[in-house]
Structure 1
Amino acid sequence: MNIKSEKINGIIEAIPHINNLIGKIIVIKYGGNALTNENKKNEFIKDIIFLKKLGSHPVLIHGGGPDINNMLKKLNKDSIFLKGNRVTDDETMEVVEMILSGKVNKNLVSLINKYGGNSIGISGKDSNLILAEKKYIIENNEKIDIGNVGEILEINPKILYTLIKENYIPVISSIGIDKDGNTYNINADYAASSIASKLKAHKFVFITNAPGIMMDMDNIDSKIDSLSYNEAKDLIKDKIITDGMIPKVEACLSSLENGAEQVHIIDGNLNHSLLIELFTNLNTGTKILKN
């Protein structure tokens, strides 16, 4: 088979996948190396625009931990974590909001616009998108104050539906607000999961630094291509899924429980992993289905 035939066959293979995504909402949690590596970020942005041009509705929620850490280091301020939560005093909250809603968010928006897309960047504070309350950590029956860290109470999707209707690609930073106007640092994984649930997304795509869910974290050949909600729960219970992958998978399972149709955990280190996962029969990560 020559190169031209291979390309044509690739296009033909994508047709049923394209038909299945036209008009559908795809929520994407974007982080890891794909966010900090400039070349990977540019390629990823082009993939997002491609999705939009084909008629689907990508909604992007991003992290920004490395940039926050770097800025805190410049300010001679330590990054402190407790049970996976960034301890966020008032000064740290200012840095978090500045980096997420300012630097990272607007950089992604400008890249989308640069490559021919049409994007607007917002935070969870806009139109009360992410309504939150103060979160506490319970340890040894003691309630520990971790500062301006928020627990999501409600997602108000009206602004997202408005932007989608007007053909914009929403880019969202995970900053929340409470009914009194206080600002909170929200875990981006859980923010993305909650938004995917509320929008009843056709697909929730989780871009990570891992190839997917593996039976053996040291053996890439043990990657699981597809599994059910219950099978994923069992892998957590059996401690096959461990460490930093646990909250990510739990966020994915929560989205399936509450409205999302399918979840994909894919490797952001692989160029065009998003398009390969959505438009081919190849598996760049792990798909989790409701049943």
Structure 2
Amino acid sequence: MVDERLNRAFAQDVVRLRQAGVLPVVVHGGGPQIDAQLARFGMRPSFAAGLRVTTPEVMEVVRMVLAGQVQRQVVGLLNEYGPFAVGLTGEDAWTMTATKRYAEVDGERVELGLVGDVSGADPSALHALLRDGRIPVVSPIARSEDGLTYNVNADAGAAALAVALRAQLLVVLTDVAGLFADWPSTEKVVDRITADELERLLPTLSGGMIPKMEGCLRAVRSGVPVAHVLDGRAPHALFDHAFGDTAVGTRVVP
């Protein structure tokens, strides 16, 4: 999402899939853009277990950047290739609800602030948009039952919506080649892994790969037939590889 050439290739892929009869739903993040905006305000980002520590002040920036900047860019780019995309956040129509999340670091519980775990997903608004021929673009912001607004990890939000929609495929685009078998000792990518194998491997992962693989595990354990982690740095990776049999990236299967 920070490379104009890749942005356009992604948008073309999504629209081509829609024109081919696939019903894509896009859930976006915005980490680099949030970090850049925090820097402009003189605020330093902080992370624990791959998740952004979100104070009320940081939450204001997160909400502004995700819903007001990144979502509009994704919607605008998709609509350059056809009048399909409509933006919403997880707050809209209670599409996603969340409960407060804590991280665990070295066996200790860590406070994350306004970071939420997706506790429920109502796909009604998404179904309505899909029936109307639209491509929903969802910002990972969710409300709690007591009215608080939470920053939800985009991978976790995508997984929850994939389950709620009974999607046939969850695709996670990232900036690495996939799940490495023995990082950093080797850059060999695991092309296929079962849910049980992934669950055993999770405690050994680090950084941003943790929520991605947690999301994949949640999805396939809850009925999504396959989750595919793809290297989004490859132009047209989504169209060329997500729906084919080519062993690119990492496929998580039940």
Instruction: State the TM-score, normalizing by the size of structure 2.
Output: 0.92
Indicate how the Cα distance of structure 1 residues 227 and 134 shifts in structure 2: closer, same or farther if over 3 A, else same.
Answer: closer
Indicate how the Cα distance of structure 1 residues 217 and 136 shifts in structure 2: closer, same or farther if over 3 A, else same.
Answer: closer
Indicate how the Cα distance of structure 1 residues 94 and 202 shifts in structure 2: closer, same or farther if over 3 A, else same.
Answer: same
Identity of aligned residues (%): 34
Are 2:227 and 1:263 equivalent residues in the alignment? yes
Using the alignment, how far apart are the partners of 1:138 and 1:212 within structure 2? 24
Are 2:34 and 1:68 equivalent residues in the alignment? yes
**What CA RMSD, in Å, does the superposition of the two structures yield over aligned residues?**
2.1
**In the TM superposition, what whole-angstrom CA distance separates every residue of 1:71-118 from its partner, at most 9, and x where no partner exists?**
010011111223333222222111100000110001100111111241
Q: Which runs of 5+ in 1 are unaligned?
A: 1-34
Partner of 1:275: 239
Using the alignment, how far apart are the partners of 2:189 and 2:240 within structure 1? 16
After TM superposition, the structure 1 = structure 2 runs for residues 183-222 of structure 1, keeping only pairs within 5 Å, are 183-217=149-183, 219-220=186-187, 222=188
Checking the alignment, whether the CA contact within 8 Å between 1:213 and 1:286 is kept in structure 2 is yes
**In the TM superposition, what whole-angstrom CA distance separates every residue of 1:168-195 from its partner, at most 9, and x where no partner exists?**
1000000011123221111111111111
Checking the alignment, whether the CA contact within 8 Å between 2:168 and 2:225 is kept in structure 1 is yes
After TM superposition, the structure 1 = structure 2 runs for residues 83-232 of structure 1, keeping only pairs within 5 Å, are 83-137=49-103, 145-217=111-183, 219-220=186-187, 222-232=188-198
Please say which structure displays the higher CA radius of gyration: 1
Partner of 1:8: none
Moved more, 61-70 or 149-158: 149-158
Indicate how the Cα distance of structure 1 residues 144 and 284 shifts in structure 2: closer, same or farther if over 3 A, else same.
Answer: closer
Checking the alignment, whether the CA contact within 8 Å between 1:276 and 1:284 is kept in structure 2 is no
Residue of structure 2 aligned with 1:53, choices 19, 26, 31:
19
Partner of 1:287: 251
Checking the alignment, whether the CA contact within 8 Å between 1:164 and 1:170 is kept in structure 2 is yes
Instruction: Please state whether the residue corresponding to 2:251 is helix, strand or coil.
Output: strand
Q: Which runs of 5+ in 2 are unaligned?
A: none
Instruction: State the TM-score, normalizing by the size of structure 1.
Output: 0.81
Are 2:46 and 1:80 equivalent residues in the alignment? yes
Instruction: Please state whether the residue corresponding to 2:129 is helix, strand or coil.
Output: helix
How much does 1:243 deviate?
4.3
How much does 1:147 deviate?
2.3
Checking the alignment, whether the CA contact within 8 Å between 2:191 and 2:251 is kept in structure 1 is yes
How much does 1:226 deviate?
2.1
